[in-house]
């Protein structure tokens, strides 16, 4: 095989292959293949049921590994089958490049050099979306995707939609749920959740309207991506962020964690106190089963300290629950007048159950508000005291 680049001979290029998924891109396909072959002969073409002249073009390249789908199954399926083939052939990394002509094969060495110099990662080519000729819908879609990727993973990227990527095949998830364009989002989010480094490297890009054929269907595919992001956000809030939170606490210890995220955090004392108040309010209020999701969502919306808000939302941990319930019912009793006992004894009827539930809900919101203000105020005073003490020293 030909070396990928004379400048990176120590990279062991046999560990890399290039996957080209294609569907009805006959105007640009041959140019892309020829340009990739200048860097490596380890190429896997996935013909996703093309109905144009794609097969005739691919017959010119019998030396290239080819996968043919009888019908169009979607880019996601094409990539998944390409990954499976690459793993079967014992490749460690796969570089994917679109066949619509927007990418330059001359950027392939950049991906390999990044792995060699900076360590293993999932690399995404970062396009200059501000350059002339870039469709506005592409720029909007990329910004939309970047926002949700950061929300779901906490990682800021400039480009999350580029199809020019390098995947560490043995690190990324083995099974996927999506089959179309949204697979590329699923891969990077779930890879980040596994602890894989996901980052951008700059690449060139060309949007030639006379050659480029895009199969992205704005309404249908954008809807599928939105559904996927909804699912990923829920998973992130319900499982990933709490999991990472407890991992950090376990690694550093509760005391050290609180010191770093409260006393030594760069946020203002006001923002820290507001984060404490938010966490206490959500922890006491009757948002059963949704406290984690809600507190993290609101912390992001209001740009509070997520770690602090989440930590104080756990005020309703088991030893405190009886006191919270009792306080809520007691306070609620001043606003919901009924002759039923504070705690139901023997005869439970729908009416007295309804009255006590209403009593509890109203009381818990009032108690949550009181405690949130109290904790927030105390937190602000304590933080201000330590800040003053620190400045004196």
Sheet of 122-126, strand order: 65-68, 43-47, 16-22, 93-96, 165-168, 122-126, 198-202
Distance, CA of 328 to CA of 360 (rounded, Å): 5
The DSSP code for 126 is E
The DSSP code for 101 is S
pLDDT tens, position by position, 196-238:
999 999 999 886 655 555 666 666 767 888 899 889 988 988 8
DSSP-derived secondary structure for 288-336: TTTHHHHHHHHHHHTT--HHHHHHHHGGGSGGGHHHHHHHHHHHHTTTS
Among 23-32, 75-84, 253-262, 318-327, where is mean pLDDT lowest? 253-262
Distance, CA of 364 to CA of 372 (rounded, Å): 12
Give the pLDDT mean for 303-327. 84
Q: Return the half-sphere exposure (C-beta side, CA atoms, 13 A cut-off) of residue 53.
A: 7
Provide the angle, in degrees to the nearest 10, between the axes of the packed helices 291-301 and 241-252. Answer: 90
pLDDT at residue 143 tops 50: yes
| H helix or E strand, kind and range, residue 123 | strand 122-126
Question: In the chain, which segments carry CATH 3.90.550.10?
Answer: 6-236
Distance, CA of 240 to CA of 292 (rounded, Å): 11
Res 344: pLDDT: 43
- Can you list the alpha helix ranges (DSSP code H) found in 89-128? 108-118
pLDDT tens, position by position, 156-187:
999 999 999 999 999 999 999 998 889 999 99
Among the CATH numbers 3.40.50.410, 3.90.550.10, 2.60.120.10, 1.10.10.60, which is that of 6-236? 3.90.550.10
Q: How many other β-carbons are positioned within 10 Å of the β-carbon of residue 331?
A: 18
Is the separation of the CB atoms in 101 and 212 below 8 Å? yes
Closest CA to 161 of 142, 176, 180, 178: 142
pLDDT tens, position by position, 41-97:
999 999 999 999 999 999 999 999 999 999 999 999 999 999 999 999 999 999 999
Give the chain's mean pLDDT: 85
pLDDT tens, position by position, 360-387:
899 999 999 999 999 999 999 988 887 7
């Amino acid at each position: 095989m030909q070396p990928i680049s004379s400048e990176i001979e120590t990279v062991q290029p046999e560990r890399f292959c290039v996957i080209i998924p294609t569907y009805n891109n006959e105007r640009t396909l041959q140019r892309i293949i020829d340009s990739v072959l200048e860097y490596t002969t380890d190429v896997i073409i996935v013909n996703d049921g093309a109905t144009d002249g794609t097969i005739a073009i691919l017959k010119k390249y019998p030396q290239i590994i080819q996968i043919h789908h009888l019908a169009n199954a979607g880019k996601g399926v094409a990539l998944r089958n390409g990954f499976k083939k690459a793993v079967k052939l014992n490749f460690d990394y796969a570089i994917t490049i679109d066949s619509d002509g927007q990418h330059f094969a001359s950027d392939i060495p950049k991906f390999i050099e990044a792995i060699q110099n900076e360590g293993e990662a999932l690399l995404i080519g970062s396009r200059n979306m501000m350059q002339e000729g870039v469709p506005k819908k592409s720029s909007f879609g990329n910004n939309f995707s970047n926002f949700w990727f950061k929300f779901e993973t906490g990682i800021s990227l400039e480009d999350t939609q580029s199809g020019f990527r390098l995947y560490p095949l043995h690190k990324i998830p083995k099974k996927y749920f999506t089959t179309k364009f949204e697979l590329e989002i699923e891969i990077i989010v779930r890879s980040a959740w596994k602890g894989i480094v996901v980052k951008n490297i700059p690449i060139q890009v060309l949007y030639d309207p006379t050659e480029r054929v895009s199969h992205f269907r704005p309404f249908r595919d954008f809807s599928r991506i939105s559904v996927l992001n909804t699912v990923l956000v829920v998973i992130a809030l319900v499982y990933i962020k709490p999991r990472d939170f407890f991992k950090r606490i376990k690694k550093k210890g509760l005391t050290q964690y609180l010191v770093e995220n409260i006393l030594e955090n760069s946020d203002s004392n006001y923002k820290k106190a507001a984060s404490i108040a938010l966490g206490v309010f959500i922890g006491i209020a009757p948002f059963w089963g949704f406290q984690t999701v809600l507190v993290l969502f609101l912390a992001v919306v209001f740009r509070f300290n997520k770690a602090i808000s989440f930590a104080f939302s756990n005020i309703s941990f088991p030893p405190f629950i009886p006191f919270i319930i009792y306080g809520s019912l007691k306070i609620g009793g001043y606003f919901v007048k009924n002759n039923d006992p504070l705690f139901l004894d023997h005869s439970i009827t729908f009416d007295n159950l309804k009255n006590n539930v209403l009593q509890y809900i109203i009381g818990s919101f009032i108690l949550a508000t009181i405690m949130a203000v109290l904790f927030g105020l105390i937190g602000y005073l304590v933080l201000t005291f330590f800040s003053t003490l620190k400045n004196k020293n």
